[in-house]
Amino acid sequence: MKALTWHGRRDVRVESVPDPTIQEPTDAIVEITSTNICGSDLHLYEVLSAFLEPGDILGHEPMGVVREVGPVAAEHVRPGDRVVVPFNIACGRCWMCDRQLYAQCETTQNRQAGKGASLFGYTKLYGHVPGAQAEYLRVPQAHFGPIKVPVGPPDDRFVYLSDVLPTAWQGVVHADVPKGGSVTVFGLGPIGQMCARVARLRGAEQVYGVDLVPERLEMARRHGVEVINADVIDDVPGAIKDLTDGRGTDAVIDAVGMEAHGNPIQAFGHRVVAALPDAVGARLAERMGMDRLAGLTDSIATVRRGGTLSIVGVYTGAADPLPMLDLFDKGVQIRMGQCHVKRWIDEIMPHLLDDADPLGTEDFATHHLPLDEAPHGYEIFQNKQDGCVKVVLRPGTTSE
């Protein structure tokens, strides 16, 4: 089969690799019909090379059709089922899964690396499981993981259940935005866009979105978000306080993470770590404060006293400096963490089955590309070119 493989910093290639096979009774093989490029994939493309090996298959946002199942997987899915595959791999039966903490599943937890549940296509830290930007995917724990969806509506209606939608939903739930309240979303990439839409759907009256990319700002504006252009406004927290009687918003969602624009020293640090030998680079990447914190510090400055900060952007440094005095003095609650995908599916699904498409799933992807154009998709997504906000890859199509 063809798959998108990693070979170094900003070097991904579509190559022929062996077809996946059933290895465990809980496995299924899914033929992929749509698979997305995630903002987290850009961390692998740019920063986290110390935790990858040449030839690793990337990707963790797929959907498709079940083609084979192991005997235990057959408890849940059968050949011919149309399914979305969550990015985290969970058994549904362990102590953590019983508490719906699927991102911490103890069956797939990576104890040696000190990390949570395994993820598709996401480094040696998270199980080194082959990813989903491919024609076929082996799905472990398929007796629980795959989400069955109806035949009929286009893939774009459901594919975001793999990551984007439940991550955004959890981020808004964690933000605890009161009905009729206010929220600021920092970062209007794919997750931030959906956070803003979900917040409106769940009753937020004022939703502010902060970014500096014109296409992202325009997309958010189309969906009723009051946008703040960080390329024009120097003091974003101050501007939002001016709009909220000097208080700041009830909640803030940081959907930026480590890829924030800003500190050139930390940007240089990213490049240095990527260039070091794997063993040295891995230690530095895990232990040092290597994140760009502009989005996070602005988020802390923007949330009102007694408000809630929800962090959905990915951070990797273990020693990043934080304004602890401000957090304590303002009485800010902070919630964060990897999304527990299946916890939120029952709440989200009715909105996807609504013909009105209230979450705008069919007005989300800016680019649909065949799998063999995936390297181009990574390039335009990373560099914010050609109006790129979200890329969906279609393995069953070819370049014209």
| Residue 400 domain-assigned (yes or no) | no
* Higher per-residue pLDDT: 323 or 175: 175
Please report the pLDDT score of residue 263 as a whole number. Answer: 44
The CATH number that applies at residue 221 is 3.40.50.720
Average pLDDT over residues 149-155: 96
Please report the pLDDT score of residue 277 as a whole number. Answer: 60
Please report the pLDDT score of residue 265 as a whole number. Answer: 41
| Residue 40 domain-assigned (yes or no) | yes
Average pLDDT over residues 349-370: 96
Return the HEC string of the chain.
Answer: CEEEEEEECCEEEEEECCCCCCCCCCCEEEEEEEEEECHHHHHHHHCCHHHCCCCCECCCCEEEEEEEECCCHHHCCCCCCEEECCCECCCCCCHHHHCCCHHHCCCCCECCCCECCCEECCCHHHCCECCCCECEEEECCCCCCCEECCCCCCHHHHHHHHCHHHHHHHHHHHHCCCCCCEEEEECCCHHHHHHHHHHHHCCCCEEEEEECCHHHHHHHHHCCCEEEECCCCCCHHHHHHHHCCCCCEEEEEECCCCECCCCHHHHHHHHHHHHCCHHHHHHHHHHCCCCECHHHHHHHHHEEEEEEEEECCCCCCCCCCCCHHHHHHHCCEEEECCCCHHHCHHHHHHHHHCCCCCCCHHHCCCEEEEHHHHHHHHHHHHHCCCCCCCEEEECCCCCC
| Residue 193 domain-assigned (yes or no) | yes
Please report the pLDDT score of residue 286 as a whole number. Answer: 55
Q: What is the count of structural domains for the chain?
A: 2
pLDDT in tens, 174-224: 999 999 999 999 999 999 999 999 999 999 999 999 999 999 999 999 999
Please report the pLDDT score of residue 329 as a whole number. Answer: 80
Please report the pLDDT score of residue 327 as a whole number. Answer: 78
The CATH number that applies at residue 14 is 3.90.180.10
Lowest mean pLDDT among 186-195, 317-326, 333-342: 317-326
Confidence of residue 399 (pLDDT cuts 50, 70, 90): low
Range of the domain at 246: 167-336
Does one domain contain both 330 and 263? yes
Does one domain contain both 298 and 205? yes
Confidence of residue 259 (pLDDT cuts 50, 70, 90): low
Residue that finishes a domain, picked among 309, 336, 363: 336
Does one domain contain both 192 and 319? yes
Please report the pLDDT score of residue 46 as a whole number. Answer: 81
Please report the pLDDT score of residue 330 as a whole number. Answer: 86
Residue that finishes a domain, picked among 320, 336, 352: 336
Share of the chain above pLDDT 70, in %: 89
Average pLDDT over residues 155-161: 98
Does one domain contain both 157 and 173? no
Does one domain contain both 71 and 21? yes
Does one domain contain both 146 and 79? yes
**Mean of all residue pLDDT scores within the chain:** 91
Q: Are 302 and 251 in contact (CB under 8 A)?
A: no
Confidence of residue 55 (pLDDT cuts 50, 70, 90): very high
Share of the chain above pLDDT 90, in %: 79
Lowest mean pLDDT among 36-50, 109-123, 181-195, 276-290: 276-290
Q: Are 136 and 1 in contact (CB under 8 A)?
A: yes
Does one domain contain both 18 and 139? yes
Please report the pLDDT score of residue 293 as a whole number. Answer: 79
| Residue 399 domain-assigned (yes or no) | no
Confidence of residue 92 (pLDDT cuts 50, 70, 90): very high
Confidence of residue 266 (pLDDT cuts 50, 70, 90): very low
Please report the pLDDT score of residue 49 as a whole number. Answer: 78
Does one domain contain both 249 and 367? no
Does one domain contain both 316 and 364? no
Does one domain contain both 302 and 198? yes
Average pLDDT over residues 72-79: 97
